[in-house]
Structure 1
Amino acid sequence: MIRVQDKVALVTGAALGLGEASARMLAREGARVVLTDIKDDDGERAAQAIVEDGGEAIYLHHDVAEENAWERVIQATLDRFGRVDVLVNNAGVGWGGPPEEETLERWNRLMSINLNGVFLGTKHAILAMKRVPPKGGSIINLSSIEGLVGDPNLGAYNASKGGVRLYTKSVALYCAKQGLGIRVNSIHPGYIWTPMVEHYLREHGGVEEGRKALDTLHPIGHVGEPDDIAYGVVYLASDESKFVTGAELVIDGGYTAQ
């Protein structure tokens, strides 16, 4: 069984990490995939790798904080593939520090990507999904364990990911009550070994020791891998999850069970 055969999936932040893994797995399961990012070289490489593996994919430059960029990317997707069935709002950034040392500029920049980007993507995906029959679709928003629990040094990130969590529920209810056939869910990863996490550790004391410390935070004994999240994305993108909307899919090695 090909789980998302012929569905058209748009994945933001798809050049590396969780987005790349999700795009690859969606393609392996039969989807036609649009990868977007601002890291053009890595994005082109990721799309080409999917094509070389026998999938169908294109890459588009895309700043998720800009509404005109969303309009352009959605239209390019419709021009190429005719519809949008799945949106994975994955693009995000993360940094921390004491709240009294945070700046409004850094706060606004993080929110523009992590929260505004999800709002804009959701808005324009719904418009596209309503335009092209048959109706319906799946919007998958990447939140975090940091959207469920607090961290003393990640106030802005907590706020953005908590916002994603509740915005997801609001839109899920709207789409359900309007009879749009569009499901909206959030995924909440624990620490996953991605270039973003590795870069953070490199800047804060060292990668090897940092990874060991992160491993101990998860009762299962280790951090996750990008495919752990990609499996969840494929499930929510597929018709297997047709009764799932407004839900929080927590994939965290037991982190929030403590």
Structure 2
Amino acid sequence: MSVSDKIAARLPRIVSDRAERGPVVAAVRLHGVITPTPTPMARNTINMQTVETALTRAFDHDRLVAVALLINSPGGAPTQSALVAERIRELAGKKKVPVLAFCEDLAASGGYWLACAADEIYAHGTSLVGSIGVVSAGFGLNGLLERHGVERRVYTAGEHKVRLDPFRPEKPEDVEWLKGLHTDLHAQFAAWVKQRRGPKLQGDDETLFTGEIWTGAKAHELGLVDGLGTLRSVVAKRYPDADIAIAEPRRPLLARLGLAGSTTRSGDFLPAALAALEERARWSRFGL
């Protein structure tokens, strides 16, 4: 037997999510942008609708000893991040099992919010972790409409009913309003990290909550993760007799049919294409 075969023999098996062999560590993949409204072009997204079944299935094993979260996400919608994280804590409390998070390529922004739902967080030394901040992005399309002779008409009751309309010129007061929202959300994000990580954090607010991103090795130094390791290596050490059962979240219908990237109507193309560009930009911010 080769050295690699001997090492592999010591590692836990990855089996179906209804393993009958013995103790089970159930792993849930949380991969993709966090958004309440996935587009037809999206292959993987995270929200309550897509992950609820996988989470409940993972926590439902009879021989469950722990649940693992496999996180690879650039973040996204803060509310969906919070809802999914709260659901994980609810299930963990009900089943009384530890939750371990594993940061893969990227656990940034809302992705790190999800990781903090775990009792312990692990990363690879080369993972990108953190980005504890808030960002909004969009497109200014008012010039596009003017170029094509299209007039935008919006009728409202209420002075502030429409803000930051992408088809109208940007207003300074709307930008200030958005900054106020960002400040509030940022404070909630920081409070969640402090609540979950507590005395493990090794840095002040000016270091940890600037929106900076770190490698897994540096994140370990800062107390943002508990250790360096992968799902199989950590499980082999902590639960040597356990098998790993993967619970996959739901994917959009077109992705399940192998048609992600398609649109059904020509009129859907522009908004879908812009959404796809924004999704791509979220990953590109981190060089991925």
Scaled to the shorter chain, the TM-score interval is 0.3 to 0.5
Structure with greater contact order relative to length (CA < 8 Å, sep ≥ 6): 2
Query: When the two structures are superposed, what TM-score results if normalisation uses the length of structure 1?
Result: 0.33
Larger Rg belongs to: 2
Query: When the two structures are superposed, what TM-score results if normalisation uses the length of structure 2?
Result: 0.31
